[in-house]
Amino acid sequence: MRSIRDEAIPEHGILSQLAPVYNSAVEGDFPAFVTLRTSVQVARAEPGRPLVIALHGRGMTERALERWLRPGIEKGGLSWWVPRGPLPQEIEKRRITYAWYVFNGDQTALRESMDEARPYLHDLVATARRTLRPSAVTLFGFSQGAYLASYAALSRPDLFDRLVCCGGRPKAEFVGDLAAARGLRVLVQTGARDQAVPPDLVAQGVGALRAAGIDVQEKSYDAEHRVTAEMAKDLAEFAS
């Protein structure tokens, strides 16, 4: 296992405030850059293969998600990047985990925080396309990562080929032009015993995508709020 560390990306508001950062003199189109002390778990990376970029949930680490995804990774044939959320948080004063954005119940603030996180992913996929030249890119998200993944992929379908929401729902209401994402293939994975994701909200998000002409597949699993081995294998098949 190896990691990509200290990726130079543009400075984006709350990410630069809450993530551990330091100034870096990097030439580019933006007036100021910072380097996030982040990490990308590279489970497999083969040039030309389809790539899965997988986002963990709030209160997790990239290593924890990589372990859940291992049954899919071991099927072979894909490259896998599992980045760490840029916002550190302390859990029970014992360990540091990470999040992708801040959510306090206010939808306007949520969108603003997600808008700060999206460029992080856009820069990451640009790096992946430049270095690996994958035949296709699938953005996968679990829980909090699913909400961000849906917003990022549906609002920039030119960067992604497929989207998988697991333990979350498509955040369709944040996307201005859903019809522009008609070329994006979407898979929504839900656990039948997952009490963290209201079924009516999942149906609402899926319905909005289908109304816009987007190809959406749904699959339910005998699972609670987690990524099961079956989910990981289905993800690998969908991304292939």
CATH topology of domain 39-239: Rossmann fold (3.40.50)
Q: Using alpha carbons, select from 96, 78, 115, 114 the residue that is nearest to residue 37.
A: 96
Contact assessment for residue 23 and residue 110, using Cβ atoms and an 8 Å cutoff: no
User: Confidence class of residue 5 from pLDDT cuts 50, 70 and 90?
Assistant: very low
> Can you tell me the mean pLDDT for 100-105?
89
Cα radius of gyration rounded to whole Å, the chain: 17
* Percent of the chain clearing pLDDT 90 (strictly above): 60
Instruction: Compute φ and ψ for 48, nearest 5 degrees.
Output: 90, -15
**From 47-56, 93-102, 208-217, 221-230, the region with the lowest mean pLDDT:** 93-102
Q: Supply the pTM of this predicted model.
A: 0.83
Helix ranges (DSSP H) in the chain: 13-18, 62-73, 107-131, 144-155, 199-211, 229-239
Domain boundaries, the chain: 39-239
pLDDT tens across 164-194, in order? 999 999 999 999 899 999 999 999 999 999 9
